[in-house]
Amino acid sequence: MFKRKPNCIGQVIVTTAGTSVRATSTLSNPAADLPTPWIFIQAAEDNTGVVYVGTAAVTDTNYIVALGPGEGMELTPTQIKGTEGEYFLNDFYLDAETSGNSVQITYDVSRG
């Protein structure tokens, strides 16, 4: 039976609205490949606008998911790529309607 082994990156803040931030920006090596089969992203309750989750080209019109204050979303490779497997957490970026909005990111560190 497959069991998840969640690991929380912690709070990731979009300092400047309209400027994307790598989802792994709080890690010591944010560009390092970080494979995972599952991600959960939770927008902070006190956000004052929408946070957009996407690729390096994320904007308010080009995103995978938009999260309002307090909203969360589980993302799997099947939802993103249409196939099972893994993807790299460092390939995800955030943008926001309002400077200072943030999310908590949890990902699965299990292999297999």
Kindly list the distances between the CA atom of residue 82 and the CA atoms of 63, 68, 76, 77, 102, in Å, as whole numbers in the listed order. 16, 25, 9, 7, 27
Task: Judge whether 93 lies within some domain.
Answer: yes
Query: Is 0.85 surpassed by the pTM of this model?
Result: yes
**Does the residue 40 lie in any domain?**
yes
Counted domains in the chain: 1
Q: Which domain holds residue 68?
A: 13-26+33-104
pLDDT in tens, 85-110: 778 888 899 999 999 999 999 998 76
Answer yes or no: is pLDDT of 68 > 90: yes
Note whether residue 112 is domain-resident.
Answer: no
Banded pLDDT at 1 (limits 50, 70, 90): very low
55: in domain = yes
The answer to the question of residue 86 being in a domain is yes
Please indicate, yes or no, if residue 4 is contained in any of the structural domains.
no
CATH code of the domain covering residue 60: 2.60.120
Sheet holding 65-67, edge to edge: 21-22, 93-96, 51-54, 65-67
